[in-house]
Amino acid sequence: MKRNILYCAFTLLIFLSSCKEQNSKADNNASEIITDSVVTRINATLKGFVDSGNIAGVSALVYENGKEVYYNAFGYADRETKKPMDRNTIVQIYSMTKPITGTALMTLYEQGKFELDDPVEKYAPEFSNMTVYTGVDDSGNILTEPLIRPITIRDLTRHTAGFPNRGEIPGLSEVLNKANIYDRETSLTTFAEKLGNIPLWFQPGAQWEYGPCVDAQAFLVERISGIPYNEYVRKNVLDKLGMHETRYFIPEKDRSRFAALYRRTGEGVIERDTITYSNYTNKWPFTRGGSGLTSTLDDYMRFAQMLVNKGSLDSVSVLKPETIELMATNQLADSITERNWLPNKGQVGFGIDFAVRIAPPADSEENNGVVGEFFWDGAASTLFWVDPVNKITAVLFVQLFPYDQIGLHKDFRDAIYGPYTGTN
Q: Is the pLDDT of residue 27 over 80?
A: no
Q: What is the pLDDT of residues 102-121, one digit of tens each?
A: 999 999 999 999 999 999 99
pLDDT of residue 26: 36
Q: How many other C-beta atoms are found inside a 10 Å radius of the C-beta of residue 357? A: 25
User: In degrees rounded to 5, what are phi and psi of residue 229?
Assistant: -55, -45
- The separation between CA 132 and the C-alpha centre of its own chain, rounded to angstroms, equals 29
Separation CA 142–CA 133 (nearest Å): 7
pLDDT of residue 423: 63
Q: Is residue 305 part of a domain?
A: yes
Domain span holding position 218: 106-225
pLDDT of residue 424: 55
Separation CA 415–CA 58 (nearest Å): 15
User: In CATH, what number is assigned to the domain containing residue 48?
Assistant: 3.40.710.10
Cis amide prior to 199 (ω within 30 degrees): no
Answer yes or no: do 73 and 110 share one domain.
no
Query: Residue 102 belongs to what H/E stretch?
Result: helix 98-110
pLDDT of residue 421: 81
User: In degrees rounded to 5, what are phi and psi of residue 19?
Assistant: -65, -40
Answer yes or no: do 91 and 160 share one domain.
no
Nearest by Cα to 28 from 70, 72, 66: 66
Average pLDDT, the chain: 93
The pTM of the full predicted model, rounded to 2 decimals, is: 0.92
Q: Is residue 145 part of a domain?
A: yes
Answer yes or no: do 173 and 268 share one domain.
no
Separation CA 296–CA 90 (nearest Å): 5
| Cα dist from 278 to 80, 273, 304, whole Å | 19, 12, 28
Q: What is the pLDDT of residues 241-299, one digit of tens each?
A: 999 999 999 999 999 999 999 999 999 999 999 888 999 999 999 999 999 999 999 99
* 158-191 CB burial, b ≥16 within 10 A, e <16: bbbbbbbeeeebebbeeebeeeebeeeebbbebb
Q: What is the mean pLDDT of residues 183-207?
A: 98
Q: What is the pLDDT of residues 331-368, one digit of tens each?
A: 999 999 999 999 999 999 999 999 999 999 999 999 99
Answer yes or no: do 321 and 384 share one domain.
yes
Q: Is the pLDDT of residue 3 over 50?
A: no
Please identify, among 225, 241, 268, the residue that sits at the C-terminal boundary of a domain: 225
Q: Is residue 295 part of a domain?
A: yes
Answer yes or no: do 184 and 234 share one domain.
no
Q: What is the pLDDT of residues 309-332, one digit of tens each?
A: 999 999 999 999 999 999 999 999
Measure the N-to-C terminal CA separation of the chain; round to a whole number of Å: 59
Answer yes or no: do 346 and 232 share one domain.
yes
